[in-house]
Amino acid sequence: SVVKIYPELDYHFFIIADLDERVRRKCMQYDNKETFEEIKNNISIRDKLQKEAGFYEYSDITIEVDVTDCKTVEESSKKVLDFIKLPQTV
């Protein structure tokens, strides 16, 4: 568990997005050099392997953030940062 590895951890985020949206973004990244179905298959295989290896472990402090609807990296980042509470100053 991530909390066992990092016991002082204040936040643990698990960023998710719909599979088809992840594939669409990856297609853009690869300039459509691979087909939608090829990329979808590769991502599905990777997700399965990572899940079996324990990469998708949640703890009691895990915050799942769905960025499917975010149109930019900045928008995704803001969605995550909105969960972080800064210390209050006097």
Per-residue pLDDT band for 90 (boundaries 50, 70, 90) equals low
User: What pTM did the predictor assign?
Assistant: 0.80
pLDDT mean across residues, the chain: 90
The answer, yes or no, to whether residue 2 has pLDDT greater than 70, is no
Q: Quick one: the chain helix, strand, coil %, rounded to 5?
A: 45, 10, 45
Using alpha carbons only, give the angle 40, 83, 48 rounded to the nearest 5 degrees: 25
What letter would DSSP give residue 71?
-
What letter would DSSP give residue 34?
S
